[in-house]
Structure 1
Amino acid sequence: MNEPTLSSSASADSAKAPSAHPLRRRRWLLVGAGALAALGGAGLATWRLRPGPVQEGVSDAVWGAQFEGPAGEVLSLAALRGRPLLLNFWATWCPPCVEELPLLNAFYGEHRAKGWQVVGLAIDQPSNVRKFLERMPLDFPIALGGLGGTDLARGLGNEKGGLPFTVLFGANGSILKRKMGQLTAQDLQGWSTTL
């Protein structure tokens, strides 16, 4: 009597197997399609966030630029030439910008003794920047970019005006790296070893 039960059980399992197989296949197809969509989306985001070409003559514009600081002081980029410079375009209304500022501040604190410089060029209203810096003081210099800062960012390849946007200049003043979007600790680690 046990034998018929086993064979009827085996028959039931074999009857279920063909219907379970297409479900598993469908599940794997959906997982695969989802993975392909995610990769495609990441590729599209990378393409969209890739900086455009640097305009001719922008290097002279960078090193000739002067901006007002939050307290009215003048920041001349020419005075910073000769050492590596991270120039970060940001705004108080930009969440990824605000999120990366502590990372930039830590990077500056760790690398300034090695000659690194960091400048935050705020593309924002001066009053907003002053209020923000009261709440979150930063150790590296901040300048008020205004329209000149926006034009400079476009010349450096930020054609769409997105923020944050960061450019790494070598000690000789040449552009070494550019990134549209929020910096990561890995970005900064990699950039710091390029010099």
Structure 2
Amino acid sequence: MSDTSRAWIKPVIAAVAIAVIGFGGYTVLNKREVAPELTFVSIKGEKITPASLKGKVVMVNFWATSCTTCVAEMPKMVDTYNKFKAEGLEFVAVAMNYDPANYVINYAETRQLPFKVALDADGSAAKAYGNVSMTPTTFVIGKDGKILKRYLGEPDFPALHKLLEQALRG
């Protein structure tokens, strides 16, 4: 073969290499972390198991009664839950381990929180979710058990609602 008849080889190899690198980058960036398989215990003593959440869209919100942003966002969290619960949204509000249980129970009862409220008494849930220390921190978990989005601070609620619509209907 002459050099001119092999001239196509280098561009083809380069194109294949670019495609492989691009696909590799896509798959790395597209991998979503699987949510930890935890059993939460609600303030009513109810066990919220991974099996009871399987196949559902779930919001896990780490919060504290001493967190002003948490308290400010809670009515919007209630509205979000009420808007999507009929479509199957599950919501677990996880109180941080430094939050006194009686404060959490009082807050949940006086505000009539409509979703499950759990205590993270030993801090294991916060640790399992990547050492959550800032409140509020909210995770949206898809039906496949993978984390769709993590919000630090108050979410952009219109964007959150759009994400929930897609996840619940998808």
Flag whether TM exceeds 0.5 (same fold): yes
> Quick check: 179-188 or 140-149, which moved more?
179-188
1:1-195 aligned at under 5 Å gives the runs 59=34, 62-63=36-37, 65-123=38-96, 124-146=99-121, 147-154=123-130, 158=132, 161-195=133-167
Asked whether the equivalents of residues 85 and 118 of structure 1 are also in contact (C-alpha less than 8 Å), the reply is yes
Structure with the larger helix share:
1
SS of residue in 2 equivalent to 1:194: helix
Q: Which has the higher contact order (CA 8 A, sep 6+)?
A: 2
Deviations 1:148-190 (A, max 9, x none): 12212325xx4xx100001111101011111100123223223
8 Å contact kept, 2:108–2:117: no
2:43 counterpart SS class: coil
Query: What is the deviation of 1:67?
Result: 2.1
Query: How far did 1:93 drift?
Result: 0.5
Amino acid at match of 2:115: F
Question: Residues 127 and 184 (structure 1 numbering): CA distance in 2 closer, same or farther, change over 3 Å?
Answer: same
Write the distance in 2 (CA, Å) between the matches of 1:130 and 1:85. 22
Give the residue type in structure 2 aligned to 1:75. Answer: I
For the aligned residue pairs, the C-alpha RMSD in angstroms reads 1.8
Change (3 A) 1:59 1:185: closer
Aligned length: 132
* AA at the equivalent of 1:154: G
Conservation of the 8 A alpha-carbon contact between 1:119 and 1:143:
yes
| Structure-2 separation of matches of 1:88 and 1:187 | 16
Q: Deviations over 1:28-53 (max 9, x none)?
A: xxxxxxxxxxxxxxxxxxxxxxxxxx
- Same amino acid, percent of matched pairs: 29
- Structure 1: distance between partners of 2:130 and 2:155: 19
TM-fit CA distance, 1:108: 1.1
Of the two, which has the highest radius of gyration? 1
CA distances 1:4-28 after superposition (whole Å, capped 9, x unpaired):
xxxxxxxxxxxxxxxxxxxxxxxxx
Unaligned runs of 5+ residues in structure 1 are: 1-57
Asked whether the 8 Å contact 1:89–1:153 carries over to 2, the reply is no
Inter-partner Cα distance in structure 2 for 1:75 and 1:98: 23
CA shift, 1:78, in A, is 3.0
Distance 1:140 1:102, change over 3 A: same
Distance 1:125 1:78 in 2: 28
Q: Deviations over 1:36-74 (max 9, x none)?
A: xxxxxxxxxxxxxxxxxxxxxx736x22x1122112222
